[in-house]
Structure 1
Amino acid sequence: MTPGYAVLGLMAGGSLARLWWTVATPPARMPLVRSTADRQEVPVPAGRPNILIFMTDQEQAQVVAPDHPCVTPNADRLAHEGVRFTNAYCPTAHCCPSRATLLTGLYPSGHGIYNNVSNPTAIHHSLRPGTRLFSEDLRDSGYNLAYAGKWHVCDDEDPSDRGWRQLEISAGKGSYMHRSIDMWRRFPDHAQAPPERGRGQIVRPGWGHYQTYASTPDKGPKGYEDLHDYRVVRSAINTLPELAGARQPWCLYVGTVGPHDPYVVPRRFANMYDPANVPLPKSLRDSLDDKPRAYQRVRRQYWGQLSDDELREAIAHYWAYCTMMDAMLGEVLDALDATGQADDTLVLFLSDH
């Protein structure tokens, strides 16, 4: 299993109860839960709480851990006022099985999703027959459900098939990556890509170059107004007043694609980090002798092409991406506060792996 840690943000003093869960390597021999809140009784909302889930993609826990240089004020607030899970585990390093585990409460061997589903070589494209998602339990209990953003759980169903009302959706049913060799043969230029590579690029013969990171002009005062993830966030923000105005409790899921690679971010965020100040991880020069041989091959053929300076630039852009996601998280939390239902809402901030 992929080591990780999760954070349960549970705010004391009559404030919002919030849950934060993300992935990182846990310290040795630590208990599952570490409380960062004052040791006092936490008020429990009367009746059934609303639930707000904000899920990023491939966000390392270390970037929101205490004393990390990545700027994440909204995640920091949740951690400071809450309870942190520092010895939990992500069940897999792949997006789809990890997401399926979150929604089902089962290991991959139970729900049947073992790797990413949106390609022809997936082991399974569907959840195991009879598998039930927590959304179905909430629906049957009278919750009003809305889903905005990335699905990427199975390839033959959408959130609407499992009790959710769909808003702005990505990585839904049959959405992308159904590629075969015949399809690639229609694009011979990819096979003839020049061997020279640009800054931050990886040469992949037959596949075209891969741009690992880049900065783009700001689009609006926030810098990210034209991004798909912001359309997802806006769709969630716009539906919050409707959910709050209904009589039944609600569950709103907000899923971003960021900070998944490639790390392409507006200059406003990229300029926050100087690559010269980014340390390279100690594991960078690991021999990988005790890992599957495929790890060595991938590093030799692809990631080993990047210089140390390019790796620092890539990490700096990744941190910038995480900071941008944190800004969007803050907008959703502010919108929730504006509804007046914050004290009756459980908020989960997490990443799939």
Structure 2
Amino acid sequence: MINKLLSIFLVAISTLGCKAQKQDKPNIIIIMADDMGYGDLSTYGSTLINTPNLDKMAAEGIKFTDFHANGPVCSPTRAAILTGKYQQRVGIDGVVTAKHHRDKGLETSEQTFAEAIKDAGYVTGMFGKWHVGYKTEFNPINQGFDEYIGYVSGNVDYHSHIDQEGFEDWWDGDKIKNEEGYSTDLITKHSVDFIKRHKDEPFLLYIPHEAPHGPFQGRKSAAEREIGWKNGSKQKNKMTEEELNNIYKEMVEVMDEGVGEVMKTLKELKLDKNTLIFFCSDNGASRKVGSNGGLRGYKSTLWEGGHRVSAMAWYPGRIQPNQINNETILTMDLFPTILDFAGGKQPENLDGVNLKSNLLEGKALEKRDLFWGYTGRKAIRQGDYKLILRNKDAEPLLFNLKKDLSESNNIANKHPELVKSMLKELETWSDDVYSNSNNKQ
């Protein structure tokens, strides 16, 4: 009898130990929308687009009001989130295009968050958009991801999966393997399958959606592209403004459905209380469609509308619900943050900062200057102040974002000393990030 009780006790202790170990290794999911504006979610004020699942994520966790993409376009932000560094430092300060930059990509010598977290005992998967290198050597499989299905270009036809230059662009690992289906639904399907297959081990799942980036296609839209297609980014079937807005609405809402499927799967498998999810967009909405919520500018600009994005964090039981976070955060901050949650070793050369104490305890982040740069334009943020240089010969523009979030009142003439010091910091940063870059420009 004593031996039987002892055996039961040892089994119980072992089970508790496994559960404790599991709690020490939370699953990590990063979901990224593509070209979605600050005002495109209903939780951020949209009355046109219904996003109940992302609204639920925000209500059950943290909604960020001052979260920024590292870049105002796709590739730079993706390079920054992957490496935890300013994208200029790793040579991806502009769009890696299908036509002109097929030899350019994120060097494999750079450590990605996938590689870092694998060292902490995680299995890693990615499903969706890569856009930091076309050549096989730059493929996600060679950058720390155990599994990858998706496309490597800036966008593909949602149905035929043909890229902007007429090439088939749907990969399984480092091999082209097209499959039938709407790309948003395929990304969700493979993500859910990954969770189910790896439910008994700590995993990192990166879900960079195509939606709502163009071409603007819904589930029932006809395919626009075929192999050899050479019409640039123009769609054959012209849409009215109303039709375009309706398709865009559907694209965001289908992505939201996918987020709901991921959350539902976690709850069904009893993984929800041991999973941290970050959601954000890679830059603001384009000039053509979408809402940046009253912010000035749009994708590709350094106005707030180009890089201030909707974002949230969800971790039931660890992150308290219904929080509004006003800290100024960049996407590169996610690398050191998820690595801390995973118990991994922090690299010493990251530009991003660890948000863990802020997320769990509300501890304020230390003050720091933040920078943006794109096609000769640069910007610096110091507290509430933001300075923009539209080109090297232009007069600097200064705004107090606390009083003037729309960036409509240039106060540079009122603060000459502040402008001078911010320009100096901007020059120092620029010299630093390009000093060891593979893309000195």
Whether the TM-score (by the shorter chain) exceeds 0.5 is yes
The structure-2 alpha-carbon separation of the partners of 1:92 and 1:167, relative to structure 1 and needing over 3 Å to count, comes to closer
Give 2:277's aligned residue. Answer: 347
Q: Of the candidates 154, 161, 169, which is equivalent to residue 150 of structure 2?
A: 169
User: In structure 2, the residue corresponding to 1:122 is in which secondary structure?
Assistant: coil
CA contact (8 A) 1:58 1:352 kept: yes
Aligned ranges 1:1-353 → 2 under 5 Å? 46-64=23-41, 65-69=43-47, 70-122=49-101, 125-128=104-107, 130-156=109-135, 157-171=138-152, 226-246=181-201, 249-266=202-219, 310-353=240-283
Q: Post-superposition shift, 1:123?
A: 9.8
Q: How far, CA to CA, are the matches of 2:145 and 2:44 in structure 1?
A: 35
Deviation string, structure 1 residues 27-64 (Cα, Å, up to 9, x no partner): xxxxxxxxxxxxxxxxxx83121101222211112111
* Unpaired segments ≥5 residues, structure 1: 1-44, 184-224, 269-301
User: In structure 2, the residue corresponding to 1:63 is in which secondary structure?
Assistant: coil
Q: Structure 2 counterpart of 1:68, which letter?
A: S
Q: How far, CA to CA, are the matches of 1:162 and 1:123 in structure 2?
A: 17
User: In structure 1, the residue corresponding to 2:206 is in which secondary structure?
Assistant: strand
Q: Structure 1 counterpart of 2:188, which letter?
A: V
**TM-score calculated relative to the size of structure 1:** 0.57
Deviation string, structure 1 residues 64-110 (Cα, Å, up to 9, x no partner): 14431110000101112222221122222221111111111112211
Q: Post-superposition shift, 1:258?
A: 1.4
Q: Post-superposition shift, 1:245?
A: 2.1
User: In structure 2, the residue corresponding to 1:226 is in which secondary structure?
Assistant: coil
Q: How far, CA to CA, are the matches of 2:244 and 2:183 in structure 1?
A: 21
The structure-2 alpha-carbon separation of the partners of 1:88 and 1:255, relative to structure 1 and needing over 3 Å to count, comes to closer
Q: Structure 2 counterpart of 1:121, which letter?
A: H
Q: Structure 2 counterpart of 1:49, which letter?
A: P
Runs of 4+ deviating beyond 4 Å: 175-179
**TM-score calculated relative to the size of structure 2:** 0.46
The structure-2 alpha-carbon separation of the partners of 1:130 and 1:60, relative to structure 1 and needing over 3 Å to count, comes to same
Q: Structure 2 counterpart of 1:321, which letter?
A: M
CA contact (8 A) 1:158 1:172 kept: no
User: In structure 1, the residue corresponding to 2:268 is in which secondary structure?
Assistant: helix
Q: How far, CA to CA, are the matches of 1:165 and 1:234 in structure 2?
A: 17
User: In structure 1, the residue corresponding to 2:214 is in which secondary structure?
Assistant: coil
CA contact (8 A) 2:29 2:206 kept: yes
Moved more, 64-73 or 138-147: 64-73
Q: How far, CA to CA, are the matches of 1:266 and 1:231 in structure 2?
A: 11
* Paired residue total: 225
Q: Post-superposition shift, 1:127?
A: 2.2
Q: How far, CA to CA, are the matches of 2:79 and 2:144 in structure 1?
A: 15
Q: How far, CA to CA, are the matches of 1:95 and 1:80 in structure 2?
A: 28
Q: Structure 2 counterpart of 1:253, which letter?
A: Y
Deviation string, structure 1 residues 97-134 (Cα, Å, up to 9, x no partner): 11111111112211111222243433971225732211
Q: Post-superposition shift, 1:316?
A: 2.9
User: In structure 2, the residue corresponding to 1:46 is in which secondary structure?
Assistant: helix
Q: How far, CA to CA, are the matches of 2:204 and 2:260 in structure 1?
A: 18
Q: How far, CA to CA, are the matches of 1:340 and 1:178 in structure 2?
A: 41
Q: How far, CA to CA, are the matches of 2:206 and 2:250 in structure 1?
A: 24
User: In structure 1, the residue corresponding to 2:28 is in which secondary structure?
Assistant: strand
Q: CA RMSD in A?
A: 3.0
Q: Structure 1 counterpart of 2:281, which letter?
A: S
* Unpaired segments ≥5 residues, structure 2: 1-21, 157-161, 167-179, 222-233, 284-441
Q: How far, CA to CA, are the matches of 1:139 and 1:131 in structure 2?
A: 15
Q: Post-superposition shift, 1:321?
A: 1.3
Q: How far, CA to CA, are the matches of 2:242 and 2:153 in structure 1?
A: 33
CA contact (8 A) 1:136 1:163 kept: yes
CA contact (8 A) 1:75 1:326 kept: yes
Q: Structure 1 counterpart of 2:272, which letter?
A: A
CA contact (8 A) 2:78 2:131 kept: yes
Q: How far, CA to CA, are the matches of 1:178 and 1:232 in structure 2?
A: 19
CA contact (8 A) 1:113 1:154 kept: no
CA contact (8 A) 2:212 2:252 kept: yes
Percent of matched pairs sharing the same residue: 26
User: In structure 1, the residue corresponding to 2:24 is in which secondary structure?
Assistant: coil
